[in-house]
Amino acid sequence: MSTATAETEITKEAKKRRTFAIISHPDAGKTTLTEKLLLYGGALHEAGSIRARKATRHAASDWMSIEQERGISVTSSVLRFEQNGIKYNLLDTPGHKDFSEDTLRTLVAADSGLMVIDVAKGVEEQTEKLFEVCKLREVPVITFVNKCDRPGMDPLEILSNIETKLGIEAVPASWPMGYGQKFQGIYDAIAKKVHIYQKTEHGAKKAVTDVLDVEDAIDASSLSDMEKEAFREEVMLIDGMYEGMDRDEYASGKVTPVFFGSALHNFGLDVFLNYFHQLAPHPQQYKTPDGIVRDLNDGFSGFIFKMQANMNPDHRDCAAFIRVASGKFERGQQVTIASTGKKIKMSTPHTLMGDDRQLMEEAYPGDIVSIFNPGSFRIGTTIFEKNEVNFDVIPLFTPEHFQKVATKDPFKRKQLREGLKQLSEEGVVHVFEVPNGVGNELLLGTVGVLQFEVVEHRMLTEYGVELIKTPVSYFCARWLPNERDDIIEKLEASYSTHVTKDMEENPIVLFDSMYALNQGEEKVGKENLFKFKQG
Contacts of 230 (CB under 8 A, 6+ apart): none
Separation CA 41–CA 274 (nearest Å)? 11
149 annotated among ligand-binding-site residues: yes
Contacts of 337 (CB under 8 A, 6+ apart): 343, 344, 376, 377, 381, 382, 383
Q: What is the DSSP string of 87-106?
A: EEEEEEPP-STT--HHHHHH
What is the torsional sign of CA 381, 283, 5, 329?
Answer: positive
Residue 418 · residue 463 · CB < 8 Å: yes
Q: Is 15 helix (H, G, I), strand (E, B) or coil?
A: helix
92 annotated among ligand-binding-site residues: yes
What is the torsional sign of CA 304, 79, 71, 153?
Answer: positive
Contacts of 491 (CB under 8 A, 6+ apart): 480, 497, 499, 509, 520, 523, 524
Q: Which is it for strands 382-384 and 301-309: parallel, antiparallel or unpaired?
A: antiparallel
25 annotated among ligand-binding-site residues: yes
Residue 435, strand partner residues: none
Please provide residue 430's backbone torsions phi and psi, each rounded to the nearest 5 degrees.
-90, 135
Residue 396, strand partner residues: 533
134 annotated among ligand-binding-site residues: no
Q: What is the DSSP string of 110-177?
A: -SEEEEEEETTTBS-HHHHHHHHHHHHHT--EEEEEE-TTSS---HHHHHHHHHHHH--EEEESEEEE
30 annotated among ligand-binding-site residues: yes
28 annotated among ligand-binding-site residues: yes
Residue 160 · residue 167 · CB < 8 Å: no
Residue 468 · residue 406 · CB < 8 Å: yes
Closest by CA to 262, choosing from 271, 253, 252, 254, is: 271
- Angle CA(511)–CA(93)–CA(96) in degrees, nearest 5? 65
Cα dist from 485 to 386, 478, 488, 504, whole Å: 37, 16, 5, 17
Helix axes 450-463 and 413-426, enclosed angle (nearest 10): 130
Residue 405, strand partner residues: 442, 469
Separation CA 160–CA 173 (nearest Å)? 15
Residue 104 · residue 397 · CB < 8 Å: yes
Residues contributing to the annotated binding site:
24-31, 92-96, 146-149
**Annotated binding-site ranges for GTP:** 24-31, 92-96, 146-149
